[in-house]
Amino acid sequence: MTGALDKLRVLDLSRVLAGPWASQTLADLGAEVIKIERPRVGDDTRRWGPPFLKDQAGLETRESAYFLSTNRGKLSVTVNVAEPEGQAIIGRLAEASDVFIENYKVGDMARYGLSYEDLKKINPRLIYCSITGFGQDGPMAHLPGYDFIVQGMGGLMSITGERDDLPGGGPQKVGVAAADIMTGLYATIAILAALAHRAETGQGQYIDLALLDTQVATIAGMGINYLASGVIPKREGNAHANIVPYQVFHARDGDLIIAVGNDTQFVRLCQLIGAPELAADARFSLNGNRVRHREILVPLLQDILSRRTVSEWIELLQPGGVPCGPINNIAQVFEHPQVRHRGMQLDLEHPHAGRTPSVANPIKFSGTPIAYDKAPPMLGQHTMHVLTRIGGLSEAEIESLVAKGIV
């Protein structure tokens, strides 16, 4: 079967994570994604290691695990976009593409003659997606954007981490580049919506996406908590600002998550742990009261939950309808029977290493299943193939451009 987007061609001039995450998602959905990289250097993340992929002899290659995580399914073409001849090549490829993704600093694409206004003249159907730290306008538009800084500026770190009055208290970033990944997903959504609009009108359009905008949008309920109340949310560690008990408890041999989402589940929890009197207590019977009296309730629950192991509590609580679970390390994640059943770990053929690991796309289609037929490319692996087939250049012309450092 072909992918859902198998007729789509994406020209990807983005680097690092947010843009590549969007283009990898589109590649998973069947699109032909042409990744443009700098000659001899490539995407910055190719050097973000260790760890690096090992070849069949056990020796490290130059392919970083970070790069491998976000460039599956793409064709790598090297082009120096700072040179006029390179810009001409990008123009040819853009004319034959449906989607153009870039994350250069504001103004760079216009300086290279590759702005949306430039390219829509040769391809009015082009969907052009720009991803920056702070957007195309505003007082910070000219500054580069980094996920870590945006997590701080956008409020996420102010509500992430242990409470200041407890050991280890203080702001923390999320363990993965959350602002980058969410921006990549929003970019994918925006591109698909623009394609739907184009199908009706025949017209492409420009998409302006900013990491900071995305981070502000995805503080979600915490943002509305503030706007509705005027009270600035604070860090709660692993507790929930609006629900109790919804946090980590210490069992006899490790940490246990209990996520009680309503009053009925709280009654079940109290019954199963042998403390039905807690559910009958007016201080705890309703969630609003439990939030107000969390400092009393949580220690009572903690005392009871410390008496058994994590697995013993899970075996008791899950069948009883109480949401709960362990905190797995990454090895345990990939060994988990549910994760294995869902096929989330992949092995893809790689020209240097033989095989390379990958993590599957979580989308499961009934009619257009995702095909994992391309490992993350080596630098410039597809330059000749793409520039002859799509760019219309001869092999001799490409060899001349290679000699000049253009491709």
Which residue out of 28, 43, 98, 180 is catalytically annotated?
180
∠ at Cα 115 (110, 117), nearest 5°? 115
Identify whether the C-beta of residue 241 lies closer than 8 Å to the C-beta of residue 222.
yes
Query: In a 10 Å sphere around its CB, with 0-12 CB exposed, 13-18 middle and 19+ buried, how is residue 280 labelled?
Result: exposed
Residue 59's SS3 state is: coil
Among 198, 179, 34, 184, residue whose Cα is nearest residue 100: 34
Place of tokens 């002899």: 57
**Per-position DSSP letters for 258-274, written without gaps between them:** EE--SHHHHHHHHHHTT
Is 180 an active-site residue? Answer: yes
Q: Report the DSSP beta bridge partners of residue 78.
A: 37
* Burial label, 165 (beta-carbon count in 10 A; 0-12, 13-18, 19+): exposed
Catalytic residues: 180
